[in-house]
Amino acid sequence: MKIALSSVMVNNQDNAKKFYTEVLGFITKHDIAMGEFRWLTVVSPDDVDGTELVLEPVNDDSARTFQQVMYSYGKPAMAFTVDDVEQEFERLKSLGVKFTQEPIEMGEIKRAVLDDTCGNYIQIFQVLS
């Protein structure tokens, strides 16, 4: 058994696509019109056949409430691994990305937390060896 899809709720699919591809560096795997919304997934350019991240539209009150509560508590909705947190932090910061936590060591990882501009905090981390 393998994980094929994971979702992050976004309050605007167009903004999310732009942020996740142009800023974070993922590539679009699927962008299929489905009425008012789209089936929109991105993947890592290093693993195009790997796990797809669904940029899931927040389209009902329960999803909106869940997203807002997670955001208000500062809880990341998703975590992405990177080779070098400090380097990725500097790259993203130079692109105007807002961070709620700068890189910090926490046990066996170093992590930072950013705002994805679509209603979520995202953790980036590196495993320390």
CATH assignment of the domain containing 84: 3.10.180.10
Let me know: does 55 contact 20? Beta carbons within 8 Å.
yes
The count of domains in the chain is 1
Distance between CA 96 and CA 122 in Å, rounded? 15
> What is the pLDDT, as a whole number, of residue 119?
97
Taking residues 22-45, what's their average pLDDT?
97
Let me know: does 79 contact 120? Beta carbons within 8 Å.
no
> What is the pLDDT, as a whole number, of residue 95?
97
pLDDT tens for each residue of 90-122: 999 999 999 999 999 999 999 999 999 999 999
Which strands form 76-81's sheet, in the order they lie side by side? 76-81, 121-127, 109-115, 99-106
pLDDT band, very low/low/confident/very high, at 29 (cuts 50, 70, 90): very high
Among residues 51, 93, 96, 53, which one has the least CA distance to residue 77?
Answer: 53
> What is the pLDDT, as a whole number, of residue 84?
98
Distance between CA 128 and CA 12 in Å, rounded? 34
- Domain region containing 30: 5-127
pLDDT band, very low/low/confident/very high, at 129 (cuts 50, 70, 90): confident
